[in-house]
Structure 1
């Protein structure tokens, strides 16, 4: 990016402190603003939309699956575009597209009604979901996370912790105010309000505040005290080499860590999507079920701080171990929502795993594979994450018919974090292996 554009409308180098901390703040806001395209944000619209478009819960889940899958196929390309155009331009475009997607969703009943005349009502709903998921869960989130990761190396865990607190509270708190808005002004007007907030508000923030990397701004990664940050990094290896996407996928770390975060995404999405139904099965009202998410944010904030702090000092596999234990804890808790200890386990387990999810997504890929091709690598990972979130709600609905209860469906998933936990013993850091081979 040209120096003229980097310094418009102000010079980041003139800020009296390291501009990377501003990047952390605005990128955290960017991730939070992707809520309309996230399942936790969509969950409060599930019942009103189902009634508006005339689909059953199973058919709506299927439309969500198809739309999310279609969006996932475009994400590897979007990741490459982040590397090519930069996080600033892609962040601005992503916010604008998400605003348009919210506007489109506000009229989804009319599109479905019109398309229904040609027998294409289901296809129209799938198209709306595709646009929403691609722009929100995909592009907006990815642009923000990649931009932040490029400003730090040995302080990346700390930045993940700080941004993660904002993201965790923003995500977990969102269902309640969105639910109130839907109740007071209706689901369509709520989507129109979100369209203005994201499409106009976040687009301006991204263009004015985002910057692609510190080098373009005449700064050093980690700021003026980068040497001190390096000395305090403990077990963390330096980033010697920028892996391409094709090189990254040949490592065992890419697949084990991808499967770990994909499992977390699948479970979180599925439970969020079916929150009301799972709550009813456990004897909870919809308000009581959705009310469990807010206290969860305190566990997320705590795990964000600890995970971020220690990830700057220890190997990532140690964070992964705790991540899998928390997910196992959460699954068992959700399967026992009818009991107090189950609800506490749910809040503690998913709160902790949610906080560590942010740490893993922000820190691991940049630490393992470098910063140059981070967009392309993240694009492929995000595609797999989106596929898992697409399959989750539909898979839960399908397994519900097989196992009989959501509780049994949940317990059947406990085998996966155990497998990943054992596999993590065989992981390391590709950067260390590269350095060892270079010395031979």
Structure 2
């Protein structure tokens, strides 16, 4: 029965003269880029339009954005399970179709309730589901060089952001904001949907292949590296290290890493969404915030390259500690960078946080717990991360309303980050208690 679901031997996979994982990587990278309309850096450019058109204050819009993000996050564990069940190709195509429809429906938003529904939809489908499916399929096709390949994916995403933000600002000047959403919907429908269906494939084993492949293109693009020794030692030889979500939830390392990872989206989203206000509260012109963000996206590309290379060579606990250390530095700088000379340093540390996050998530979970159930595991982790990104803007909004600045929120973030930072040095790979075979 299952054999009948496999694609025929004449499929594009078998006719491609090099390892098809690189085609999957290219299509998935496009899918990751297509999450942009659901990301905070896009929504932040529409904030002033929402405030003006719906006669709302900034805190209210931020709270609605946070609530919509929280509601959206509740579906992501289920989405991850569906990816495991039906495969990335079908899941990504359906998600892209729904995302295109939702983007088009922004033209009908006429009030606060519609705004909330819109936030929920684009955060759930774009920032959550499409991002999850795009990075999950790459982790299926690559194993030894997973960190390097995912970092390359994040590099392209970061480089795209730097140009996309400028393009989107220009579009919002030339067109009504509702028309801009319609343009984004058209691009999604015409480009991303067909590419997802035509080029994505679920996993190499469906074609009697192994992850990473063995061909000239693969050798040129990445070096052969050893699997991380601490992860390999923790793998289960009986089932090739594939853990279910319920099994992963019972390991200390899962919760240490989840706690450490959620803080980046929580306070990073707060910083991005309130970046103009933050810079103005420190005595800078709002235009400096936009310029810094542009620098930040380019720096994130460099960070992604380096971090992906390091993820394939060093203990994941150490890499989490580096990321959290950068987050602590970013938040401390955000409280004190009234001196313009500190702004570039802030951009560098912030780029370290945001540029490393996607590479870490795409690499560490399948490395620790295997590929078979990674949709469910990463869906759960993504749910937590998206909840964090929902809470962050509200924390920042409350801090500003109650104290007139963002220092309270930032110091809370520093205190929280220090906990998993210290625990990460003691995180051990997951191991099972198994009966010995005589």
TM-score normalised by structure 1 residue count: 0.91
Cα deviation, 1:138-187, whole Å, max 9, x if unaligned, reads: 11101101111111111101111111101222235433221111111121
Query: Displacement, 1:123?
Result: 2.9
Query: Displacement, 1:382?
Result: 1.0
Change (3 A) 1:268 1:175: farther
Partner of 1:145: 135
Contact kept, 8 Å, 2:69 with 2:390, in 1: the verdict is yes
Query: Displacement, 1:272?
Result: 1.3
Count of aligned residue pairs for this structure pair: 427
Structure-2 separation of matches of 1:399 and 1:408: 6
User: Is 1:158 paired with 2:158?
Assistant: no
Q: Which stretches in structure 1 are left out of the alignment for 5+ residues?
A: 113-121
Contact kept, 8 Å, 1:157 with 1:359, in 2: the verdict is yes
Query: Displacement, 1:131?
Result: 1.1
Contact kept, 8 Å, 1:96 with 1:200, in 2: the verdict is no
Query: Displacement, 1:236?
Result: 5.2
After TM superposition, list the pairs within 5 Å mapping 1:65-76 onto structure 2: 65-76=66-77
Query: Displacement, 1:438?
Result: 6.2
Alpha carbon RMSD of aligned pairs, Å? 2.4
Query: Displacement, 1:49?
Result: 1.6
After TM superposition, list the pairs within 5 Å mapping 1:74-153 onto structure 2: 74-109=75-110, 112=111, 122-153=112-143
Structure-2 separation of matches of 1:212 and 1:330: 38
Structure 1 counterpart of 2:432, from 410, 431, 434: 434
After TM superposition, list the pairs within 5 Å mapping 1:381-396 onto structure 2: 381-396=381-396
Query: Displacement, 1:408?
Result: 4.2
Query: Displacement, 1:4?
Result: 7.0
Contact kept, 8 Å, 1:75 with 1:383, in 2: the verdict is yes
User: Is 1:332 paired with 2:332?
Assistant: yes
> Helix, strand or coil: the match of 1:241?
coil
Contact kept, 8 Å, 2:82 with 2:91, in 1: the verdict is yes
Structure-1 separation of matches of 2:313 and 2:435: 24
Change (3 A) 1:437 1:292: farther
Structure-1 separation of matches of 2:228 and 2:369: 19
Partner of 2:229: 235
Structure-1 separation of matches of 2:158 and 2:434: 38
Change (3 A) 1:434 1:404: same
After TM superposition, list the pairs within 5 Å mapping 1:32-431 onto structure 2: 32-109=33-110, 112=111, 122-224=112-214, 232-233=226-227, 235=229, 237-238=231-232, 239=235, 240-430=240-430
Contact kept, 8 Å, 2:162 with 2:298, in 1: the verdict is no
Structure-2 separation of matches of 1:300 and 1:57: 28
Structure-2 separation of matches of 1:104 and 1:280: 34
Partner of 2:26: 25
Structure-2 separation of matches of 1:276 and 1:269: 13
Query: Displacement, 1:199?
Result: 2.8
Contact kept, 8 Å, 1:66 with 1:390, in 2: the verdict is yes
TM-score normalised by structure 2 residue count: 0.91
Change (3 A) 1:194 1:229: same
Partner of 1:119: none
Structure-1 separation of matches of 2:39 and 2:437: 45
Structure-2 separation of matches of 1:401 and 1:76: 34
Q: Which stretches in structure 2 are left out of the alignment for 5+ residues?
A: none
Query: Displacement, 1:10?
Result: 4.1
Change (3 A) 1:198 1:8: farther
Contact kept, 8 Å, 1:176 with 1:291, in 2: the verdict is no
> Helix, strand or coil: the match of 2:319?
helix
Contact kept, 8 Å, 1:332 with 1:345, in 2: the verdict is no
Structure-2 separation of matches of 1:66 and 1:408: 21
Contact kept, 8 Å, 2:368 with 2:429, in 1: the verdict is yes
Change (3 A) 1:160 1:190: same
> Which is further off, 201-210 or 330-339?
330-339
Partner of 2:14: 13
Cα deviation, 1:385-410, whole Å, max 9, x if unaligned, reads: 11111111112111223333124432
Cα deviation, 1:245-285, whole Å, max 9, x if unaligned, reads: 11111111211211222110011211111122112212333
